[in-house]
A and B are shown apart, each in its own frame.
Chain A
Amino acid sequence: MHELSLCRRIFAIADRARGGRTVETVHVQIGQLRQVVPTTLAHCWRLLTVETVLDGAGLEIEHVPVELRCKACGALSTDSDLLALACGNCGSRQVAIERGEELNVTAIEVRVPETVHG
């Protein structure tokens, strides 16, 4: 539902980074704990970029699964119950979220202008 707002920010970041060049792909990281629907994000991206300087730029979404570090037993959980966010080893709720909250633009790919050397 807020994917359109996110796309506006992704657009602004990519537009600044491209330095006037044509963007082919924008790479983003979306954590599992973020309430982002990838297909909606991709749809909003097309809607927002059409007939703009980023028209035709693809959106490459890297999905980042959740990783919890337990403060009680030290275990790293990668397949824990996402509702309770508890340690998969000892069940403690005292966990630090190590991965899964990402919402980043990591890179863009731009078309390199064709240069012909004499």
Chain B
Amino acid sequence: MGRFHRHADGTVHAHDHDHPGHVHDHADDDHGDHSGYATASERIQVLERIFDENDAAADANRRSLDAAGVVAINLMSSPGSGKTAVLERTLAELRGRIRAGVIEGDIETGLDAERLSGLDAPVTQINTAAGWGGECHLDAPMVAGALHRLELDGLELLFIENVGNLVCPAEFDVGAHHRVMICSVTEGEDKPLKYPVMFRAVELVLINKLDLLPHLDYDLALFEHNLAEVNPDATVLRVSARTGEGLEQWYGWLLDLLRAAPTPA
């Protein structure tokens, strides 16, 4: 459906506004005579990425972390996979060796931050319900606010525990250096196929709750096959945050990251 314009020279034409790339470049006084006609519409090219603002904030977060010599890990999973349990074990293990901190993301409550207190690691909480609707993920501006509350110069390693969710956190760069996820054996073998974007976004997957295997009909090899279908490059570690089984490899992976990280100028 076109919009009709009558120009000062008497010519009348219609614009088809369904064409991408069709730009109307009228100078302010060049609209012609529109009297007697409904108002016309004009298409304005914008071409802006919806994630530009978030990604710029994420880059700024990474620069702040780099300047302080902190390696940051965005830790993601569905609710109840054991993110906080893995962190409890990890902070206790690294205490006295690595100066680690945590940003806790939850829609509501400071329960996880309380669980992680007393492990000699600074913990700061983001409650995403402060925004309208209770965001289902952390974004870079939220993490920027939390970074200001931490003394980064005193840290070497920062865990950013994302909101439990297998969809949205994968879309938002928060400014971490590495993306890790936890998937527990109680979640079934099909999760990589159902949430490929998340499983493709990470470099390491911890398969947690290994101690529950005797009670489940869970096919570990099938899960790893499904994971390789969507992300053949991911490192996979089988662990139990409850018994500590397999976590030595996780600590080793973290220590390797810190050794490989450039020292701040």
* Bound Cα distance A47, B259 (Å): 49
A81-112, CB < 8 A from B: 82-85, 93, 103-112
* Bound Cα distance A6, B49 (Å): 11
- When distances are taken between beta carbons in the complex, the residues of chain B under 8 Å from A5 are 135, 137, 139, 168
* Bound Cα distance A84, B199 (Å): 11
Contact status B51-A105, CB under 8 Å: no
- When distances are taken between beta carbons in the complex, the residues of chain B under 8 Å from A114 are 34-35, 39
- When distances are taken between beta carbons in the complex, the residues of chain A under 8 Å from B31 are 112, 115
Closest beta carbon of chain B to A117's beta carbon, Å: 6
Contact status B167-A35, CB under 8 Å: yes
* Bound Cα distance A108, B17 (Å): 11
* Bound Cα distance A23, B53 (Å): 22
Contact status A13-B48, CB under 8 Å: yes
Query: How big is chain B's contact interface, by range?
Result: 35 or more
Known contacts A2-B171, A9-B53, A13-B46; decide if A24 and B165 are in contact (CB<8 Å).
no
In the complex, B47 has a CB within 8 A of chain A: yes
Specify the chain A residue showing the minimal Cβ separation from B230: A83
* Bound Cα distance A24, B12 (Å): 22
Known contacts A27-B20, A108-B44, A114-B34; decide if A34 and B171 are in contact (CB<8 Å).
yes
Known contacts A83-B229, A112-B39, A117-B33; decide if A107 and B44 are in contact (CB<8 Å).
yes
In the complex, B196 has a CB within 8 A of chain A: yes
* Bound Cα distance A18, B196 (Å): 37
* Bound Cα distance A2, B229 (Å): 26
* Bound Cα distance A12, B8 (Å): 36
Report B187-225 CB contacts with A as 1/0, cut-off 8 Å.
000000100110010000000000000000000000000
10 A-B pairs with CB atoms under 8 Å apart are A1-B167, A2-B172, A4-B132, A5-B135, A105-B48, A108-B44, A112-B26, A114-B35, A115-B34, A116-B34
